Chain A
Amino acid sequence: MAVLGLKSSWLAFNTGIVAGFAVAFYLLHSAPLPLPPKDSPRRATLAPGPALLGALHPPLPGENNTTAAELFSKVRILCWVMTAPQSLETKARHVRATWARRCNVVLFMSSQADAAFPAVGLGTREGRDQLYWKTIRAFQHVHQHYLAQADWFLKADDDTFVAVDNLRWLLSAHAPDRPIYFGKRFKPFARQGYMSGGAGYVLSREALRRFVAGFQTQVCSHTSPVEDLALGQCLEKMGVEAGDSRDTLGRETFHPFPPESHLTGKFSKSFWYWNYCYYPIVEGPQCCSDLAVSFHYVNGELMYTLEYFAHHLRAYGYHPRYQPPPRLQDWDGGNATQLAKGSRRRHGAGRRPASRSLCRDLPLQAGRTAMQLLWTALGIVAGFTVIFSFLPQLDPKVLTLKSLPVLAHRVIHEHPTGESPPSLPPRPMHTG
């Protein structure tokens, strides 16, 4: 059977070359090529909804992070970040790239859903007057879907920096089934005070239950758009205690301004701040705990700078003045251990739900497969080029094991057409 006027065996032979080339190429390159370090975000996505799972970061050289690892599994924190569609790529992305990764679960709350970021759509409008609506909806969403996945529930803004490991240290002294919440405590307008929204606040599981229950029973309602005050007043009504978040030396951990303002700024005496702080204000180096939990009004550059300071840059061998005592044994861990086991059973995941296998880089995998297909296609094209330029006339019947050396010799030394090279001119005949 002649196809396109070509000999069938020749066609089979050349098809075989192409097929062999392609298969070999794919097999060789299915092991990942040493690709250049890709600039793709390390993300993991897991149902339900657009939550990102945090992970314990691999230790730096010479670092022992056993204590941090223990706290990661025993003091589980769900972080939700108040953001907006127009701020996702300008502000929230810096949070996602830095401290958000250290929460056990992190959710970005916006008025509209965004599957790519990912962000949860709360179904509200945008604007300062919507803040309390967003907060209510966000906590209801968290309560509905994630109650068993965490012990503590943190709210932060997209310009808040949070040192999540320090928050775990602070919270490890308290049982999550206690109705309590922590933050930067302000004193006016509420008997027990309330927590500053910008500096971030964190509710225990029981506090979250009571907040949601308050709205179900209509003890609480949307009283004003001032989110932090309104929330504080609702929690007070529901019997949730406003906790003292200061460290063991009485220094503040949640901060409503950036570090420079607290460390070097001199607030004028008429500034509202003086009248708002529940505890005495300290200016200068003692303003802030070594184990600070949050700072506010942090732009992108400062977000990465604080990440660098808190988790990377250090003075080698330095023994700091403040040696924080461990607080984990301060409370009865019985209840918490049981709850933790319960959630493990339900999810069937390992001790650390955010294991590295889940942190597979989905965009990176897709990229790698595309690269492999591209190589295979190139291989096929190369194969065709080789066949049609160098071996056009090779007769497959001639190709046997015995004939290989001869053929090789011919291919190397002769014309591609298989003809012998032009013969040498005959020796001139000498006469006489």
Chain B
Amino acid sequence: MISESTSFVKGVLLGGIFCVLVTFLGHIKTGYWTKVHHHEHHHIQAPNQEDVSNLSEVERVELSQSIRVYCIILVKPKDLGHWAAVKETWSKHCDKAEFYSSENVKVFDSITLNTDDMWAMMRKAYKLAYDHYKDEYNWFFLARPTTFAIIENLKYFLLKKDSSQPFYIGHTVKSGDLEYVDGEGGIVLSIESLRRLSKVFEDPDKCPEQGGMIWKLSEDKQLAVCLKYTGAFAENAEDSEGKDVFNTKSVGSLIKEAMSNHPQQVVEGCCSDMAITFNGLAPNHMHVMMYGVYRLRAYGHDFNDALVFLPPADSDND
């Protein structure tokens, strides 16, 4: 009987030790399951709360005024409805916003480019913007008329980034070897990138006017190719939780996707709280977004933000 109980005890000890070994080996192998999908492109992140909460009032005002964004919106006459909506809504929050049109339109002021090829329009618009405004603005944001942008969130994102560095930021896509910023989500260039771009425009081998060799590349890919020659590479923008801040889809589409992909965590899993752009919005939806972003809020929730932005003059929908 005694020998059996001794045997039992020895067995318990051996079993326990074996279990501990197996458990630790198991943890090393399986690791933690996470949702991070593996990109291979560059990621660039928004500043953390800790980075910005130690600024004084004076520093905050100075900081807010030091980030100057010039908005380029490329339009064509067929986009008149969206053009009007952009004019009445988010573009009022750019330090300056100008519409670069393929042809002159009577209803609205615009800078006429006299071409309706998107790459040619983009080249001309960037060239003109650089020539006229290189000393006045340090960031250049290019958008389509179907895009809605929250410029304040863009400025927050750019808070700690030096515009004399070659930044080329947006929602990036990898196409073979080329990583480019998807024009649908908006394209952000620092003044340095724009300077280099202006230079490379003069080189027809690296950056041809007709765009593409045998087949035509889309204008956003073409831009990436030209910028790559100058040493400016596309970077994907994310918030502190890793969510994209430049979106190529509308809020509605993203919510719909979230409802079918993770129905128990729709809003939490969908979109960033500090989103900068959405795309594919109808003109009416832009007015609703204006209300949703700048006005509708839950009372009693206050934020201690590092930047200060006041509502623009002559506006009543924000």
Contacts and interface: CB of A to CB of B under 8 A. Distances in A.
B19 A25 contact: yes
Interface in B19-41: 19-20, 22-23, 32-33, 35
Interface string B109-136: 0000000000000000000000000000
A22 B12 CA distance: 9
A329 to B, nearest CB: 15
Given A24-B15, A64-B303, 18 more contacts: A13-B8, A16-B12, A16-B13, A17-B18, A24-B19, A63-B303, A64-B301, A71-B300, A260-B287, A284-B317, A304-B270, A308-B267, A310-B297, A316-B153, A319-B311, A321-B318, A382-B22, A396-B7
Interface residues of B, number: 79
A264 B284 contact: yes
Contact of A317 (B156, B266, B285): B156
Nearest to B13: A20
A388 interface: no
Contacts of A313: 271, 273, 275, 292-293
21 contacts: A9-B4, A12-B4, A22-B19, A60-B273, A61-B49, A63-B303, A68-B298, A68-B300, A263-B288, A285-B290, A301-B259, A304-B270, A308-B251, A309-B291, A311-B301, A312-B273, A313-B293, A315-B294, A317-B307, A383-B19, A397-B7
Contact of A169 (B32, B299, B316): B299
Interface string A304-337: 1111111111111111111010000000000000
Contacts of A317: 64, 152, 155-156, 305-309
Contacts of B240: 61
A8 interface: yes
Contacts of B284: 260, 263-264
A18, A97, A286 — most chain B CB neighbours (10 Å): A97
Interface of A: 8-10, 12-25, 28-29, 34-37, 39-41, 59-71, 97-98, 163, 165-166, 168-169, 259-260, 263-264, 284-286, 288, 290-292, 300-301, 304-322, 324, 379, 382-383, 386, 396-397, 399
A40 B265 CA distance: 9
Given A8-B4, A28-B19, A263-B287, A319 B308 contact: yes
A143 B309 CA distance: 47
A264 B152 CA distance: 24
B309 A318 contact: yes
Contacts of B299: 67-68, 71, 165-166, 168-169, 291, 324
B14 A17 contact: yes
Contacts of A19: 8, 11-12, 15
A69 B300 CA distance: 8
B10 A13 contact: yes
Contacts of A97: 264, 266
B301 A59 contact: yes
B296 interface: yes
B273 to A, nearest CB: 5
A70 B32 CA distance: 39
A322 B295 CA distance: 8
A243 B45 CA distance: 48
B90 to A, nearest CB: 10
B206 interface: no
Given A9-B4, A304-B258, A315 B152 contact: yes
Interface in B243-287: 251-252, 255-256, 258-259, 262-267, 270-271, 273-275, 284-285, 287
A38 to B, nearest CB: 8
Nearest 8 interchain pairs by C-beta? A16-B11, A20-B15, A68-B300, A309-B292, A20-B12, A317-B307, A21-B15, A17-B15
Contacts of B156: 316-317
B291 A320 contact: no
Contacts of B242: none
Contacts of B291: 259, 263, 285, 288, 309
B56 interface: no
A14, A169, A301 — most chain B CB neighbours (10 Å): A301
Contact of A399 (B10, B17, B155): B10
Given A316-B307, A317-B64, A317-B306, A260 B285 contact: yes
B214 interface: no
B309 A383 contact: no
Nearest to A315: B152
Contacts of B295: 285, 290, 320, 322
Contacts of B298: 68, 163, 165-166, 310-311
B3 interface: yes
A264 B85 CA distance: 11
A309 B49 contact: no
Contacts of A40: 264
B7 A165 contact: no
Contacts of A64: 301-304
B66 interface: no
A259 to B, nearest CB: 5
B9 interface: yes
Nearest to A14: B11
A62 B274 CA distance: 12
Contacts of B256: 301
Contacts of A311: 267, 298, 301
Nearest to B90: A315
A90 B1 CA distance: 67
B296 A310 contact: yes
Contacts of B93: 315
Contacts of A12: 4-5, 7-8, 11
A216 to B, nearest CB: 37
A371 to B, nearest CB: 13
Given A65-B301, A292-B296, A312-B267, A23 B16 contact: yes
Contacts of B5: 12
A264 B295 CA distance: 15
Contacts of B271: 308, 312-313
A22 B271 CA distance: 44
A28 B18 CA distance: 12
A16 B4 CA distance: 10
Nearest to A26: B19
A300 B263 CA distance: 11
